[in-house]
Amino acid sequence: MLNENKIDIDKFRKYLSAKSLEEENIVKIYNNHDDLHKIINEIIKFESEINIQKERLEKHLESIKNIQDFIKNENIVFKNAMCNEKYIFNLDSIIDTNKQNSSDFSHLVIKKIKIEAKTIENNQEYIFESKGDYKIKLYFTTNLCNKLEFEKEVMIKVLEDTKNLWKCLPSDKSDPLFKEDNYSTSGQIGDKFYIASSKRGRSHQHEGTFRDDHCLIKTINNDWSIIAVADGAGSAKFSRWGSKLACEKAVEYCLNNEDFILELQNIEKKLTDYSNNKDNDTLYKNINNDSKKTLYRIVKYAYDEIEKFSKKHQLDNPEEFDKKDRLSIAYFHTTLIFTIFKKIDNLGYVFFNFGVGDCPIVLLVNGKPKLLNALDIGEYGGGTRFLTMREIYMNQEDMSKRFTMDIFDDFDYLFLMTDGIYDPKFEVESNLVKEDKWNEFIVDLQGNNEDSIKINFSANIKEDEKSLNNWLDFWNKGNHDDRTIAIVYGAK
């Protein structure tokens, strides 16, 4: 505090010169001690506020300098992008991630990003069309002073599209068990149409190995039709031929075996009787039992024919069978599903079904899924069963459960597929009976997919057959097995 009796007028005048006070006013103030005390106190208070503001400004400027240094020196890392895939720039997450490293980052806001002169806003998608290292400019502002803008250049690595890393090597046409890599067919069954396609998976394309799946559709006696789908075991050397024989021999039996033709005619007569007396449970059970016996003979015939072929092939090519403790038929392991169906007057569509393995037969009726066969999943500890396993024929009670009969007035779609489609599209068995999952699947087939491939399910079956074959190329990470599907539908 200044001593009021020892005030240096010259110094005081100089001190107050910033206020443009005249000398005579200063003298007046000096002569009035009360006024002088007030002025001095105001000056001291003013000085204190100036110092506080100065300190704040210095801290503010220091923070801005720290932010400048931080932006310059901080290693801001973006996750790698994939060529030709959507990359979303979430600017908020960049801030949140780096906040953990420094408190200075809490003042920052990323306003925009520039890539090759294109401005990217928050949560905007960007597609890099080629692999390489790309320069990205980040533009920051700070809540300390939103008029300031800071710029930083960082790099983002764009990796090769994994789809381009897959080779497509042809299978060996000189192999005596050569099978086409790609198959498709279409046609009409009564008032319904069908399209089917089977394509070698990327894993086989990459290695130049064969398609293990197979599919066959035929109209047999008296307008009955059969659809057979098989998936050869990847661990079995000649499974591609096992699946082929399974489908072909099942169809062959239905076309050429006179006993089967007579049995089917007898079953159809009983179905006609049942259509006039649908409360006759005894007749229904009788038809069901007859169909099981008839279908069993189809299955056993297919097994016997595969076994016969496998033994002959082993005799002709012993060097190919390198596991001496393994039965020759085990080299041809395959699953098999098939359905034999027809529309019966006054009754509806009748389906006789068989399944061994993990491939589903599913009917959509008014949008609701009906699983027509039991899959070999879980019941056997997760192990798939094959048509070519002797043990499945040992237990007649278990074998009987593999045959089912279903009757529906009408249906929207009938699907038979291998796990190359079932795994990526439905993931688990329980989803096969969920209506919403099938709605998603139908919409996918109708064009809601990343390739925009559309199946119209129209009377133009050749166009739909081609579209289905192209649709089978859909990308799903980790799922590159053979893909086979058969679809029966009424034209929209």
**What pLDDT digit, counting tens, does each position of 386-439 carry?**
999 999 999 999 999 999 999 999 999 999 999 999 999 999 999 999 999 999
Rounded-to-integer distance, Cα 227 and Cα 215, Å: 8
DSSP for 313-325, written as a single string: HHHH-GGG---TT
Query: 35: how many CB neighbours lie within 10 A of its CB?
Result: 12
Rounded-to-integer distance, Cα 321 and Cα 325, Å: 10
Say what the pLDDT of residue 33 is.
54
* Both tokens assigned to 53: 């503001």
Q: Which amino acid is at 317?
A: N
Q: What is the pLDDT of residues 345-354, one digit of tens each?
A: 999 999 999 9
Please give the residue that has the higher pLDDT: either 69 or 87: 87
Mean pLDDT of all residues in 58-72: 71
Percent of the chain exceeding pLDDT 70 equals 82
SS3 at position 312:
helix
Say what the pLDDT of residue 405 is.
98
* Both tokens assigned to 332: 């041809």
Q: Are 328 and 310 in contact (CB under 8 A)?
A: yes
**In angstroms, what CA-CA distances link 169 with 161, 178, 211, 434?**
19, 14, 12, 38
Residues 6+ apart with CB under 8 A from 479: 420, 423, 424
Whether pLDDT at 186 is above 50? yes
Rounded-to-integer distance, Cα 240 and Cα 299, Å: 18
Say what the pLDDT of residue 478 is.
85
Please give the residue that has the higher pLDDT: either 463 or 7: 463
Say what the pLDDT of residue 21 is.
47
Give the torsion sign (CA, 279, 281, 282, 286).
Answer: positive
Q: How far apart are the first and last CA of the chain?
A: 99
Say what the pLDDT of residue 425 is.
96
User: Residue 125: enclosing H or E segment and its boundaries?
Assistant: strand 124-127
Q: What are phi and psi of 231, to 5 degrees?
A: -125, 105
Rounded-to-integer distance, Cα 250 and Cα 214, Å: 12
Q: Are 381 and 388 in contact (CB under 8 A)?
A: no
Q: Helix and strand tally (H, E) in the chain?
A: 12, 18
Say what the pLDDT of residue 97 is.
52
Where is average pLDDT lowest: 13-17, 170-174, 224-228, 372-376? 13-17
Residues 6+ apart with CB under 8 A from 243: 212, 213, 214, 230, 231, 232, 334, 335, 336
